[in-house]
């Protein structure tokens, strides 16, 4: 089983991502609604891999990523909408230690996640095997 932490402020996105990974049958999943919850869950749940949104309330994904990599490094795949600001944040995330990136199709709340599902699954599986 791959322990996966899904971090997104959108309840709909968390649900879609959870359903996608649950359907695979080999993921144990927990969710977090913001960066602070992600940092806390990284300590408690000790996931093998994290999917992390960038734009979130309380603590954004970049700040959370920085704390995660300092406290308990774990492979992180950024899952965020592709905007000019988001693209800059993506480069920052990769510099901070994120192992990969998948753009949400259709913006912040993506109703077309199936467009990137094979890519997302492959990247998360690869990340789970990554040695930091």
Where are any strands of DSSP class E within the chain?
2-7, 27-32, 49-52, 76-81, 100-104
Give the whole-number percent of the chain exceeding pLDDT 90.
70
Question: Distance between CA atoms of 24 and 119, rounded to whole angstroms?
Answer: 14
35, 41 contact by CB (below 8 A): no
- Which whole-number Å values give the CA distances from 101 to 45, 98, 112, in the listed order? 22, 8, 17
User: What letter does residue 97 receive in the DSSP assignment?
Assistant: T
Q: pLDDT (tens digit, 9 = 90+) per residue, 51-102?
A: 999 989 999 999 999 999 999 999 999 998 754 455 788 888 989 999 999 8
């Amino acid at each position: 089983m791959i322990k996966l932490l899904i971090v997104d402020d959108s309840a709909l996105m968390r649900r879609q991502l959870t359903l996608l990974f649950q359907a695979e049958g080999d993921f144990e999943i927990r969710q977090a609604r913001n960066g602070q919850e992600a940092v806390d869950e990284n300590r408690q749940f000790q996931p093998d891999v994290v999917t992390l949104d960038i734009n979130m309330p309380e603590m954004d994904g970049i700040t959370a990523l920085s704390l995660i990599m300092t406290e308990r490094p774990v492979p992180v795949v950024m899952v965020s909408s592709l905007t000019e600001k988001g693209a800059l944040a993506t480069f920052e995330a990769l510099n901070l230690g994120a192992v990969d990136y998948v753009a949400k199709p259709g913006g912040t709340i993506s109703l077309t996640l199936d467009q990137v599902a094979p890519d997302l699954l492959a990247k998360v599986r690869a990340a789970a095997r990554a040695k930091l």
